[in-house]
A and B are shown apart, each in its own frame.
Chain A
Amino acid sequence: MDTPSSFQTDALIAEDIDAYLHQHQHKSLLRFITCGSVDDGKSTLIGRLLYDSKMIFEDQLAALESDSIKHGTQGEEIDFALLVDGLAAEREQGITIDVAYRFFTTEKRKFIVADTPGHEQYTRNMVTGASTADLAVILIDARKGMLQQTRRHSYLVQLLGIRHVVLAVNKMDLVGYDQSVFDSIVADYRSFAASIGIEQFTAIPISGFKGDNITVAPSANTPWYGGPALIAHLEDVEVDAAAAQAQPFRMPVQWVNRPNLDFRGFAGQMASGTIRPGDAVRIVPSGKTSTVTRIVTFDGDLDEAVAGQSVTLTLADEVDCSRGDLIAAAGDPPQASDQFRATLVWMDEEALKPGRGYWLKLGTQMVTATVQQPEYEIDVNSLEHLAAKTLGLNSIGVAEFATDRPIAFEPYAANRELGGFILIDKFTNATVAAGMIDFSLRRADNVHWQPVSISREDHAGMKNQKPRVLWFTGLSGSGKSTIANEVEKQLFLMNRHTFLLDGDNVRHGLNRDLGFTEADRIENIRRVGEMAKLMTDAGLIVLTAFISPFRAERQMVREMLAEGEFIEIFVDTPLEVAEGRDVKGLYKKARSGQLKNFTGIDSPYEAPENPEIRVNTVDMTPVEAARFIIQQILPLK
Chain B
Amino acid sequence: MRSLTHLERLEAESIHIFREVVAEAENPVMLYSVGKDSSVMLHLARKAFYPAPPPFPMLHVASGWDFADLLAHRDKTVREYGLKLIIAQNDDAEAQGINPFDTGSALYSQAQLTDPLKRALSAHGFDAAFGGGRRDEEKARAKERIFSFRSASHRWNPKNQRPELWNLYNAKKAKGESIRVFPISNWTELDIWQYIALEKIDIVPLYFSKPRPTVERDGMILVVDDERFRLEDGEQPVTRPVRFRTLGCYPLTGATESEATAMNDIIQEMLLATGSERQGRAIDKGQAASMEDKKQEGYF
Contacts and interface: CB of A to CB of B under 8 A. Distances in A.
A267 B274 contact: no
A124 interface: yes
B167 A128 contact: no
B264 interface: yes
B273 interface: yes
Given A110-B191, A254-B19, A310-B19, A259 B51 contact: yes
A85 B288 CA distance: 12
A516 interface: no
B119 to A, nearest CB: 25
Contacts of B5: 25-29
A257 B47 CA distance: 12
Interface string A293-331: 000111100001010111010000000000100000000
Contact of A296 (B50, B143, B198, B279): B50
A304 B6 CA distance: 19
Contacts of B226: none
Contacts of B188: 103, 105, 110
Interface in B134-184: 135-136, 139-140, 142-143, 158, 161-168, 170, 172-174
A127 B165 contact: yes
A100 B144 CA distance: 8
A433 B69 CA distance: 49
B185 to A, nearest CB: 8
A257 B140 CA distance: 36
A112 B1 contact: no
B148 to A, nearest CB: 13
A425 B198 CA distance: 43
Given A24-B194, A132-B166, A309 B12 contact: yes
Contacts of A29: 4-6, 9-10
Most buried by A among B50, B194, B279: B50
B96 interface: no
A257 B289 contact: no
B197 interface: yes
A102 interface: yes
Interface in A367-414: none
A381 to B, nearest CB: 22
B23 interface: yes
B190 interface: yes
B272 A306 contact: no
A284 B288 CA distance: 51
Interface string A97-135: 011111101000110100000000000110110011000
A81 interface: no
Contacts of B118: none
A309 B8 contact: yes
Contact of B163 (A112, A125, A241): A125
B4 A309 contact: yes
B2 interface: yes
Given A112-B186, A359-B172, A298 B143 contact: no
Given A60-B276, A127-B165, A429-B170, A86 B140 contact: yes
Contacts of B158: 87
A169 interface: no
A261 to B, nearest CB: 13
A32 interface: no
A13 B19 contact: no
Contacts of B289: 87-88, 91
A386 B292 CA distance: 42
A40 interface: no
B6 to A, nearest CB: 4
Contact of A257 (B16, B51, B166, B173): B51
B140 A57 contact: no
Contacts of A85: 139
Interface string B210-222: 0000000000000
A421 interface: yes
Interface string B1-45: 111111111111001100110110000000000000000000000
A297 B8 CA distance: 13
Interface string B46-73: 1111111100000000000000000000
B98 interface: no
A58 B273 CA distance: 9
Interface residues of A, number: 83
Contact of B170 (A246, A254, A431): A431
A429 B279 CA distance: 38
A422 B267 contact: no
B97 interface: no
Contacts of A254: 16, 19-20, 23
A474 interface: no
Interface string A234-265: 00000101100110000000110111000101
Interface in B218-248: none
A465 B165 CA distance: 48
Contacts of A268: 19
A429 B176 CA distance: 13
A424 B49 contact: no
Contacts of B161: 98
Given A308-B9, A361-B168, A21 B19 contact: no
B178 to A, nearest CB: 13
A343 B187 CA distance: 32
Contact of B194 (A13, A25, A424): A25
Interface in B244-285: 264-265, 267-268, 271-276, 279
B256 to A, nearest CB: 13
B176 to A, nearest CB: 12
B190 A105 contact: yes
B16 A17 contact: no
Contacts of A364: 20, 23
Given A259-B52, A298-B47, A28 B12 contact: no
A67 B288 contact: yes
A417 interface: yes
A25 B167 contact: no
Contact of B46 (A99, A112, A298, A359): A298
A40 B292 CA distance: 28
Given A17-B264, A128-B163, A131-B166, A255 B19 contact: yes
B19 A431 contact: no
B163 A434 contact: yes
A222 interface: no
Interface in A428-445: 429-431, 434
B166 A310 contact: no
Contacts of B140: 86-88
Contacts of A421: 168
A251 B211 CA distance: 51
B200 to A, nearest CB: 11
A87 B292 CA distance: 7
Contacts of B49: 255, 257, 267
A312 B7 CA distance: 19
B257 to A, nearest CB: 16
A25 B272 contact: no
A21 B265 CA distance: 11
7 contacts: A87-B289, A254-B20, A361-B170, A364-B23, A424-B170, A429-B170, A431-B163
- The 5 A-B pairs with the shortest beta carbon distances in the complex, nearest first, are A29-B6, A259-B52, A310-B15, A88-B289, A298-B50
Interface of B: 1-12, 15-16, 19-20, 22-23, 46-53, 135-136, 139-140, 142-143, 158, 161-168, 170, 172-174, 185-186, 188, 190-191, 194, 197-198, 264-265, 267-268, 271-276, 279, 288-289, 292
